[in-house]
């Protein structure tokens, strides 16, 4: 099953970072957030990716082409230019890197990926958000209802601390909890290829007419995820994700990561806990 990732936006609210790179290449813990997203899918066995490129797409291409070399020891023959990698951490991924145009809208990017998803059920997400959503449960839920589209519905994190008041007395204080009311689109879609018929062209915004029409036609279902979800829209979001990673409390870090130490060839295995996940329910 293909995993489609939209990675072509400008990311203007992260201008401090995105002047020289696309937003999916902004780093958390020394790795692009795109890598974190792909590692999460890979943990569940989804290793066949198709990435929609746009703004500064060449940065993502270069990263993928150089990935094995940068994460391995190398033997270089200066006689003929041959390069051999060894003692490295090689990921079992296949990645299609598709230029979808700098000005193309989200729906247009998705439609341009149609030839690469093999007319089969596929997954879709944005290149700027992480979650501990259980992808097995998400896919099982999608298959159970038989509709064209499933999106992951999440409760967004609150921007400010939550107060429970009894008159003027604070009886409960929660520092930036998830909001207790309301659901939003958290991406992490599972889609049938017929959804491409809902996209008119490059100017179509996926979150507007396509999703609205799918809902009107009774073809859009929600998988409710009540655990961790966080997008990276602003520098503040980036700092939050970085702090979670550095404190070893990143809920999306559910994989076993084997890194090669290029200094002495030794390998280290970091075992991370698998976060608990909430069961899905239809909406």
Tokens of 118: 């093999």
The closest alpha carbon to 129, from 259, 16, 26, belongs to 26
pLDDT-based confidence at residue 7 (cuts at 50, 70, 90)? very high
In this predicted model, what pLDDT tens digit does every residue of 27-51 receive, in sequence order? 999 999 999 999 999 999 999 999 9
* 67 pLDDT above the threshold of 80: yes
In 100-161, at which residue ranges do the beta strands (DSSP E only) sit? 122-126, 129-131, 149-154
* 52 pLDDT above the threshold of 90: yes
Tokens of 59: 């940065």
* 275 pLDDT above the threshold of 50: no
* 90 pLDDT above the threshold of 80: no
Answer yes or no: pTM beyond 0.85: no
Q: What is the CA radius of gyration of the chain?
A: 20
What DSSP string runs through 235-249? HHHHHHHHHHHHTT-
- State the maximum Cα–Cα separation within the chain, in Å, rounded to a whole number: 81
In this predicted model, what pLDDT tens digit does every residue of 146-194 receive, in sequence order? 999 999 999 877 665 655 677 766 676 666 556 565 789 999 999 999 9
Average predicted confidence (pLDDT) for the chain: 85
pLDDT of residue 72: 80
In this predicted model, what pLDDT tens digit does every residue of 248-265 receive, in sequence order? 999 999 997 653 332 333
Of 75 and 48, the one with more pLDDT: 48
Q: In terms of CATH architecture, what is 2-270?
A: Alpha-Beta Complex (3.90)
Q: Delimit the domains of the chain by residue range.
A: 2-270
């Amino acid at each position: 099953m293909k995993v489609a990732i939209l990675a072509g936006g400008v990311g203007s609210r992260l201008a401090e970072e995105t002047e020289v790179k696309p937003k999916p290449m902004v780093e958390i813990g020394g790795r692009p957030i795109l890598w974190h997203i792909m590692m999460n899918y890979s943990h569940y066995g989804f290793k066949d990716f198709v990435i929609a490129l746009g703004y500064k797409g060449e940065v993502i291409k270069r990263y993928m082409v150089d990935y094995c070399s940068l994460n391995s020891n190398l033997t270089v023959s200066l006689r003929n230019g041959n390069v051999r990698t060894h003692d490295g951490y090689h990921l079992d991924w296949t990645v299609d890197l598709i230029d979808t145009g700098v000005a193309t809208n989200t729906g247009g990017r998705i439609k341009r990926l149609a030839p690469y998803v093999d007319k089969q059920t596929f997954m879709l997400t944005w290149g700027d958000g992480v979650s501990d959503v259980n992808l097995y449960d998400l896919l099982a839920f999608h298959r159970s209802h038989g509709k064209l589209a499933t999106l992951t519905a999440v409760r967004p994190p609150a921007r400010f601390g939550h107060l429970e008041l009894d008159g003027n007395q604070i009886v409960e204080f929660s520092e930036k909890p998830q909001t207790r009311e309301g659901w939003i689109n958290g991406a992490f879609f599972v889609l049938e290829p017929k959804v491409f018929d809902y996209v008119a062209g490059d100017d179509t915004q996926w979150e507007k007419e396509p999703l609205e029409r799918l809902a009107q036609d009774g073809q859009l279902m929600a998988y409710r995820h009540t655990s961790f979800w966080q997008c990276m829209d602003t520098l503040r979001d980036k700092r939050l994700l970085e702090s979670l990673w550095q404190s070893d409390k990143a809920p999306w870090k559910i994989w076993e990561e084997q890194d090669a130490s290029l200094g002495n060839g030794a390998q280290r295995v970091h075992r991370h806990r698998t976060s608990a996940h909430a069961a899905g329910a239809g909406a």
